[in-house]
């Protein structure tokens, strides 16, 4: 097998996938072809999560890998120190042919799938540490010394892909938080280690009402509730299904009814196991006075920012006097703004306005 790998094609496909996560599987196809491999997969070395970019050729073996628990006892994770120091690692760094002949990982998992040989290629930058796993069949034989030297050069060239993908993944998480904020939804982004990665202003406001982050984990004042939420996130992060969610968790508070937490995946944010954000927790406060987002009122009725703010407060049950005080304006100014709101919304009384705006509150 020639060691003259097409570095340009490999780099281009990986960069394209970093920019557009829907193309990661396509990138693995091109990498496998360019390296003469039966198949290719891309792992986050530090997080054993199951939604991995991979070629179609390893679909059957990967299903067995996840279903039968080999993901959690993959013998090749023992190669990580070699991978970290050298940039490339193979089974021969750790095991003899006799070891392989006796080991369940090779004989009970790989052999029935027609697989045997692999080369792991480091893709690392900052906190991101990935392994490009190139698989060869029993018949193909191992990677040659020259090919491994070529893969070491490849590792040196493609480390920036991890940095680019991480940066853009965080940008997607921030954009999703902005979208949740626009609808008045409290949302918390959960990283690939189960800790809080980001939260929006609506979620931060709940921290003053008994929502806590304990050691960077989302938590409740109730230990059992915290454990239940962490267990749900653990299951969600290890689900092999991209579109998945968990039943809501109840998070008790010292005052008022418990917060309701909905753990779920958002496809364009939690797109695979390489994404820095792996789950989203939507928080609902049953005691909160719901009001339509001010931006919706401005867009729907051409209200000014001040008029939209006043209308939103009235829709949540505030009196005109209370709303004026919160807006730090005089009662007469509030009355004038309310008249403008009536004119623009086609209403004549405060009760009509509240009824209209209630239909705009996100469900």
**pLDDT tens-digit readout, 128-185:** 999 999 999 999 999 999 999 999 999 999 999 999 999 999 999 999 999 888 777 8
pLDDT of residue 363: 52
Q: Same fold for the domain at 7-168 and the one at 183-284?
A: yes
pLDDT band at 1; cut points 50, 70, 90: very low
Q: Supply the pLDDT for residue 362.
A: 56
For the chain, give the number of residues.
363
The confidence band for 209, taking pLDDT boundaries of 50, 70 and 90, is: low
Question: Would the CA dihedral through 312, 304, 327, 180 be positive or negative?
Answer: positive
pLDDT (tens digit, 9 = 90+) per residue, 217-271? 898 989 999 999 999 999 999 998 887 889 999 999 888 889 999 999 988 899 9
CATH dotted code for 183-284:
3.30.450.20
CB 88 within 8 A of CB 120: yes
Considering only 267-276, 289-298, 325-334, which range has the smallest mean pLDDT? 289-298
**Distance, C-alpha 81 to centroid of its chain:** 27
- Alpha-helical (H) ranges within the chain are 7-19, 24-34, 59-67, 80-86, 97-102, 104, 145-182, 201-206, 223-237, 294-301, 305-315, 320-327, 331-345, 350-358
**For position 213, what pLDDT does the model report?**
78
User: What integer best gives the mean pLDDT of the chain?
Assistant: 91
Assign a CATH topology to domain 294-358.
Arc Repressor Mutant, subunit A (1.10.10)
Q: Tokens in use for 113? A: 């799938």
Task: For the domain made up of 7-168, give the CATH fold.
Answer: Beta-Lactamase (3.30.450)
Asked whether residue 58 carries a pLDDT value surpassing 60, the answer given is: yes
Residue 2 pLDDT level (bands cut at 50, 70, 90) = very low
Identify which of 208, 234, 212 has the alpha carbon closest to the alpha carbon of residue 221.
Answer: 212
Of 315 and 30, the one with more pLDDT: 30
- pLDDT of 334 > 60? The answer is yes
pLDDT tens, 65-79?
Answer: 999 999 999 999 999
Rounded Cα–Cα distance for residues 8 and 119 (Å): 19
Q: Does the reported pTM lie above 0.85?
A: no
User: pLDDT tier at 361 (50, 70, 90 boundaries)?
Assistant: low
Give the residue extent of every domain in the chain.
7-168, 183-284, 294-358
Q: What is the mean pLDDT of residues 309-315?
A: 87
Average pLDDT for 344-363: 78
């Amino acid at each position: 097998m020639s060691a003259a790998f097409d570095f340009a094609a490999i780099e281009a496909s990986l960069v394209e996938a970093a920019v557009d996560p829907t193309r990661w599987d396509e990138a693995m196809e091109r990498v496998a072809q360019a390296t003469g491999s039966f198949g290719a997969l891309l792992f986050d070395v530090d997080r054993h999560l199951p939604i991995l970019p991979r070629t179609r050729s390893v679909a059957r073996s990967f299903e067995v890998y996840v279903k039968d628990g080999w993901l959690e006892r993959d013998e090749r994770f023992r190669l990580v120190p070699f991978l970290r120091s050298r940039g490339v690692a193979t089974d021969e760094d750790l095991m003899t042919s006799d070891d392989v002949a006796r080991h369940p990982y090779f004989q009970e998992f790989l052999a029935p799938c027609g697989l045997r040989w692999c080369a792991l290629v480091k893709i690392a930058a900052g906190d991101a540490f990935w392994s490009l796993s190139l698989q060869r069949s029993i018949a193909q034989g191992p990677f040659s010394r020259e090919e491994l030297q070529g893969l070491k050069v490849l590792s040196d060239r493609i480390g920036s892909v991890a940095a680019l993908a991480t940066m853009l993944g965080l940008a997607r998480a921030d954009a999703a938080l902005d979208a949740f904020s626009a609808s008045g939804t409290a949302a918390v982004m959960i990283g690939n280690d189960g800790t809080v990665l980001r939260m929006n202003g609506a979620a931060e406001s709940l921290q003053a009402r008994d929502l806590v982050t304990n050691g960077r984990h989302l938590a409740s004042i109730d230990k059992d509730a915290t454990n239940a939420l962490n267990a749900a996130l653990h299951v969600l992060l290890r689900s092999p299904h991209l579109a998945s969610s968990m039943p809501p968790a109840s998070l008790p508070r010292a005052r008022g009814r418990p917060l309701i937490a909905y753990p779920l995946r958002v496809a364009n944010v939690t797109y695979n196991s390489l994404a820095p954000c792996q789950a989203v927790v939507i928080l609902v406060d049953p005691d909160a006075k719901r009001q339509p987002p001010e931006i919706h009122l401005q867009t729907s009725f051409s209200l000014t920012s001040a008029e939209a703010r006043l209308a939103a407060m009235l829709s949540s049950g505030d009196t005109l006097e209370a709303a004026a005080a919160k807006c730090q304006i005089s009662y007469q100014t509030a009355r004038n703004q309310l008249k403008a709101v009536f004119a623009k919304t086609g209403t004549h009384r405060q009760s009509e306005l509240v009824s209209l705006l209630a239909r705009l509150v996100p469900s």
